[in-house]
C-alpha cells in the first residue's frame, strides 16, 4: 500500500484550511485517511506560529515506514527541519513557448525590414 503525507482541504468557500494527513495514495483528496499529522491555515500571516502546526514525531514515524510527502508538505517539513527538500532549478520554464518565440522572431523581422527600407530610401 503506497502511503502519502498530503493535504486534505477543510474550511468553507474562499476560507481554506488544510489538515496534513497520511493516507493511501489511491484515496480521494478529502477522503479516508489513516492519521491526522498537523494543519495549515493559509489565511493566517506568514510569520504566525499557528499557520503551520506539525506533529514531527509522528511524521518521522510515517516517513520511516515509507510514506512519501507531496511537494507542498515537503516544503513544510523542510522549514520545520524534519525532512530535506532539494531546491529545484528549471531554467527552461522561464523561456517563452514555441508560438511566442515565432511571434517575437516575426516582429524582429518586421523591424529589420523597416530599418532596411528606411536606410535604402535615404
**Residue 99 shares a structural domain with residue 76:** no
Rg of the chain taking only CA atoms, in angstroms = 24
Domain count, the chain: 2
In a domain, 37, yes or no: yes
Q: Which of 95, 94, 75 is nearest to 6 (CA)?
A: 75
Give phi and psi for 119, each to the nearest 5.
-70, -35
Q: Give a yes or no: residue 85 inside a domain.
A: no
Residues 114 and 55 in one domain: no
Same domain flag for 99 and 67 = no
pLDDT at 91: 80
57 and 116 in one domain? no
Mean local confidence (pLDDT), 72-101? 87
Question: CA 68, CA 110: separation in Å to the nearest integer?
Answer: 52
Does residue 67 sit within a domain?
A: yes
Q: Is residue 116 part of a domain?
A: yes
pLDDT at 122: 67
Structural domain span for residue 104: 91-121
The verdict on residue 59 lying in a domain is yes
Residue 87 confidence (pLDDT): 81
Does residue 40 sit in the same domain as residue 62? yes
What is the pLDDT confidence band of residue 1, given thresholds at 50, 70 and 90?
Answer: low
The CATH number that applies at residue 28 is 3.30.1320.10
pTM for this entry: 0.69
pLDDT 10s digits, 3-50: 999 999 999 999 999 999 999 999 988 888 999 999 999 999 988 989
**36, 73: one domain:** yes
Amino acid at each position: 500500500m503506497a502511503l502519502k503525507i498530503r493535504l486534505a482541504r477543510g474550511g468553507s468557500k474562499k476560507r481554506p484550511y488544510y489538515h496534513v494527513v497520511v493516507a493511501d495514495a489511491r484515496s480521494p483528496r478529502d477522503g479516508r485517511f489513516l492519521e491526522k499529522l498537523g494543519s495549515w491555515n493559509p489565511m493566517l500571516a506568514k510569520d504566525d506560529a499557528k499557520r503551520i502546526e506539525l506533529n514531527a514525531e509522528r511524521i518521522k514515524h510515517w516517513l520511516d515506514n515509507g510514506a512519501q510527502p507531496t511537494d507542498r508538505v515537503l516544503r513544510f517539513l523542510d522549514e520545520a527541519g524534519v525532512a530535506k527538500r532539494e531546491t529545484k532549478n528549471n531554467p527552461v520554464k522561464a523561456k517563452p513557448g514555441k508560438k511566442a518565440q515565432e511571434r517575437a522572431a516575426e516582429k524582429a523581422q518586421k523591424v529589420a525590414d523597416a530599418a532596411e527600407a528606411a536606410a535604402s530610401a535615404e
